[in-house]
């Protein structure tokens, strides 16, 4: 038991130590040949970019949601920095599964996180309720 815990923690340390950042540009503008700006858009995985239902499991990610896959590819083609924003990243063993899913679905090796920072512009997620900035007023769709 102790050996399996040590092995798990070692794997977690290795994953966390990998560098996944794309780089930054203080101006927020991108030029061909320059790195992408710090600003980024988060896209949830399960239920947003990939189908998620009762048959889903931690070992398998659902098939892509066509509209979201197209939107992500369009944003990437327009030089927008995208991060996969998912709770799965709390388990280091999920990272290779997510990377394989991205590759299988013709997406680049995107950054994967579950942490917001000041550079996140917006988040696409199936569980969100938008709140108007500085008011607390819920924004509901009609």
Distance in angstroms (rounded) separating the CA atoms of residues 84 and 12: 18
The pLDDT assigned to 69 comes to: 97
Per-residue pLDDT tens digits for 25-74: 333 444 444 454 589 999 999 999 999 988 778 889 999 999 999 999 99
Backbone angles phi, psi at 121, to 5 degrees: -85, -40
pTM, full prediction: 0.72
pLDDT at 4 over 60: yes
Would you call 135 helix, strand, or coil by DSSP? coil
Per-residue pLDDT tens digits for 109-137: 999 999 999 999 999 999 998 899 999 99
Output 1 or 82, whichever has higher pLDDT: 82
Pick from 138, 24, 31: nearest CA to 81:
24
Domain definitions of the chain by residue range: 36-139
Q: Which pairs count as long-range contacts for 58-62, CB under 8 Å and 24+ apart, including other chains?
A: 58/88, 58/91, 58/94, 59/97, 60/97, 61/97, 61/98, 61/101
| Domain formed by 36-139, architecture | 3-Layer(aba) Sandwich (3.40)
């Amino acid at each position: 038991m102790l050996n399996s815990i040590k092995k798990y923690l070692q794997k977690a340390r290795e994953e966390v130590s990998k560098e996944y950042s794309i780089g930054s540009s203080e101006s927020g503008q991108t030029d061909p040949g320059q790195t992408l700006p710090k600003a980024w858009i988060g896209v949830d995985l399960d239920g947003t970019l990939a189908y998620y239902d009762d048959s889903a499991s931690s070992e398998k990610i659902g098939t892509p949601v066509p509209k979201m896959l197209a939107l992500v590819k369009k944003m990437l083609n327009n030089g927008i920095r995208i991060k996969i924003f998912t709770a799965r990243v709390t388990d280091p063993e999920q990272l290779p599964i997510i990377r394989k899913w991205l590759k299988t679905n013709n997406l680049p090796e995107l950054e994967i996180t579950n942490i917001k920072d000041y550079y996140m512009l917006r988040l696409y997620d199936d569980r969100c309720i938008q709140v108007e900035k500085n008011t607390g007023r819920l924004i509901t769709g009609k």
